[in-house]
Amino acid sequence: MTRVLVINGSPSKREQSYSGAVTDLFLDKYHQLHPHDEIINLDLNDLPLAHQTLDRHNSSSYWKEVLPLIEQLKKVEKVVCVSPMNNFNVSGLMKNYLDHVLLADQTFSYKYSKKGEAIGLLKNLVVQIITTQGAPLGWYPFGNHTAFLEGTWAFMGAKINHPSLLLAGTKVAPLKEQTPEVAAQTLLPEIDKALKTF
């Protein structure tokens, strides 16, 4: 049995969440293919650490509580990482989560000596990225939260499953006139491709 950790970084209410709708569609189809796999849901809205930002006042204690999160990553085989775009990057919830689990000698080894010498330690993971954004792809080239997530997980040693699933343009027609569930259906061909290797 494969264990799949679903990390939900969307601060939106469930009924308004495009990333939630894409994730539900992806997981429904995944379950049809892998009915015995265990799905573990981690909603960052409910995780106190995901609301903590690193600052000068907590830098000495910031990482003390993160080992259970890192152990959780080490005990699963697959991760579904879900984030909308908030102000041209991942949500604050997702950024805070990543800031906690990106810990030297736990999820990566980095000796600050030469370019390219970082070694990701989460080589057991395959990660499926699911992202959404209000603007169509390319409207703001400096904002690419999908690539940020791909690079961050790859830095930790994970294999990125392709294609990453991006639902772009949710704030403009025609998607803004559709429910999240209907809009998510437009990604079905990409979801089918991703499921072949996830």
pTM: 0.95
Domain 3-195: homologous superfamily in CATH: Flavodoxin domain (3.40.50.360)
Helices within 75-118 (DSSP H only): 92-101
Work out the number of other CB atoms within 10 angstroms of the CB of residue 185: 13
Q: How confident is the model at residue 112 (pLDDT cuts 50, 70, 90)?
A: low
pLDDT value of residue 139: 92
How far apart are alpha carbons 99 and 120 in whole angstroms? 15
pLDDT at position 63, please? 83
In the numeric block, the tokens 């072949």 are attached to 196
Token readout for 180 is: 């999240």
| Residue located via tokens 């690539």 | 147
- Taking phi over 0 as left and psi of -120 to 50 as alpha, with beta for the rest, 74 belongs to alpha
Ranges assigned E (strand) in the chain: 3-8, 38-43, 78-84, 108-109, 119-120, 126-133, 159-160, 165-168
Tokens found for residue 165: 């699933």
Asked if the model's pLDDT at residue 116 lies above 70, the reply is no
* Binding positions for FMN: 10, 17-19
Mean pLDDT of 86-111: 93
pLDDT tens per residue, range 1-58 = 899 999 999 999 988 999 999 999 999 999 999 999 999 999 999 999 999 998 999 8
User: Which residues fall in the annotated binding site?
Assistant: 10, 17-19
Say yes or no to pLDDT of 164 above 90.
yes
Distance from C-alpha of 78 to C-alpha of 124, rounded to nearest angstrom: 8
pLDDT band of 114, cuts 50, 70, 90: low
CA distances from 7 to 39, 60, 61, 83, 189 (A): 11, 26, 24, 9, 23
pLDDT number for residue 110: 77
Q: What is the DSSP letter of 32?
A: H
